[in-house]
Amino acid sequence: MITKVQKTDEEWRRILTPEQYYVTRQKGTERAFTGEYCESHEPGIYQCVCCGTDLFESKKKFESGTGWPSFTEPLNPELIHEEQDYAYGMIRTEVLCAVCDAHLGHVFPDGPPPTGLRYCLNSVALKLKRE
């Protein structure tokens, strides 16, 4: 059972940078090729920047060439929530942290084996817990 983290808008604004708030709480997107983890190859676990939940491991990260960190699968699928996103005239699958509902990015069916998935995430929505 997941214990939800809930904060008021004011509380999120106090603990997050303006860019983190924009991406995670307002479903924004950082500019391509600008994120801290776009080309990072450091070993560790990527956590939700809002609540610290372990979400993705560096071993599942790959270079997609899209300008955002990409992963083939989450560490624990139960900690990821997916919703349909119809913004900008597109149909995409949004990826959220199941613990605090932070917007992380989107998942696409064009990734490498074995999953064929590409979890395309915003660096600013993540923090790397280095091994």
Could you confirm whether 120 is annotated as catalytic? yes
DSSP state, 85?
A: E
* Overall residue count recorded for the chain in this entry: 131
Catalytic entry in 50, 51, 97, 120: 120
Q: State the alpha helices, DSSP H only, in the chain.
A: 9-15, 18-26
The set of catalytic residues is: 120
